[in-house]
Structure 1
Amino acid sequence: MKKQKRFSRVAVCLLLILVGLGAGVANASSTPPNLSLQITGPSSAQVYSPYQYTVTVTNIGGSTAYTSSVVVDLPETTTSPQKYVLGTVSGYPQTCQLANRKLVCQLGNVTHTGPNRTKSFSFTFAFPISTRSLQIKATASTVTTPETNSNNNFATIAPTPVYPNNQLTSATMSVSNCTGTTLSSFFECELFPSSQQHFTLSLNPDLTMSYEGQFIGNWDQYAGANRLHFVLFMGNGTAEFNGFARSNTCFEGITTFSTSTTYISPYRLCIQ
């Protein structure tokens, strides 16, 4: 009789332990997912050169993140009324689509264990010369909400622009430009070829500038071999250009006018 009671007590204890374990498993399986995103790429990037960027998403939570996706916000132009990607994006997989200046990439289900716990994709991007600080931002999301921590769903990368050297002693320059109110890059002029004007300037050895044989201003590279600065004397005011080398033959930058605080003009100057 005593043995039977002991057995019954042991059985009850085992049952309670199993029930407790079952509850623990149930609680673990109901733990929300937690998508953690990282974006990697170069810390510096030469302008107009394509570099690879990789987005990696890992589920560090306790359950599957269903129908997950990543939106990559690319730099955008300041053109109006329509905006465009400020730069050149390429090399992205078929699971990504470019829409409204964003890469929208489908990841499917990101599990909390196994090989599908981490998913990644890569793309290439070339930054243009711009007066703005440009960055790429990636954000992950899932239909399984809420997540344990949504603060680790996004990341940004902003490579430092690198410009080639283009030391001048004198040159005849072909100039292209367009004019607007909020433009930050000649890349924006290239989107609208019909808006561009073209003319020729001479950079003389004595650091003067001439247009059609007449003195028009002064130029210098005091800030470095990858920079170009000049001032043009135009009627009652001046036009001042500050730019960077795009290559060993071309410079790009912005021209401002002393007679107007509204309009600016992106320039590209290339050695003939």
Structure 2
Amino acid sequence: MELCTEGPAPYLMFPALAKTGIIRHGFSTKLGGVSQGSCASLNLSFERGDDPEAVRENYRRIASSIGFSVEDLVFSKQTHTTNIRLVTEEDRGIGYSRPIPYTDVDGLITNTPNLVLTTFYADCVPLFFTDPVKRVIALVHSGWRGTVGKIGDKAVRMMREHFGSDPSDILAAIGPSIGQECYEVSKDVADAFREEFTEVQMPELAEQKEDGKYQLDLWRANQIILSEAGIRKGHLFTAGICTCCQKDWLFSHRATNGKRGNLAAFLELLPEQV
């Protein structure tokens, strides 16, 4: 990923996705906003006890930096499910300019131009999907529950089933999230992964410690899921940025014991050039 510093709010982006020419996208940092306290400074959640007007100003700043309109935002409503919502023109503005009428939505998918899919993070894994052939995009929140439930595979299947995407055409990217060295989990979480992944895959996914706990690698797990879903090696990109290690400029739930704001991922399909 590259850090873009033009504009009021710095953000991260994948050059390989941008080169398709059909999308606008970005992943926020905690820098460049107006929020105070534990949400300082670019908090993008209305649900962290922050001043709503400060959050709106933060959105205006990140929108100015990336180049989208806040009126085109469509929010997820994340509860660590594997549910993905098909987003249409009727959803424009949901979460920002009007209430969210749904819950249990951890992913968004659309082929409608100028809808800004928006999902939220503070250690979990953002997954970006772009099909430049069928002109379809998807944005997915994949924590450990979403990962063990293989929500990334579900996104690829939905792109294929609803819009005719060929997985070999899709570009997928794994965004900033907690890395294996910082992500200690209990045996029951490791066991959940053991039920879904092979014995050959498990040693690299969950490294057991002397105290019986495990270090879980969500990046590698999602790489396996997306590869098995048909994403080609040259079309799969991983940021390799740990939110917990980079707590000075990225929000991390684990690094702050939950005293934090939210980062956001944005993905917008651009209109087709005539």
Above 0.5 in TM-score? no
Q: In which range does the TM-score fall when normalised by the shorter chain? A: under 0.3
Structure having the larger proportion of residues in strand: 1
TM-score, normalised relative to structure 1: 0.21
Instruction: Select the structure of larger CA radius of gyration.
Output: 1
TM-score, normalised relative to structure 2: 0.20
Structure having the larger proportion of residues in helix: 2
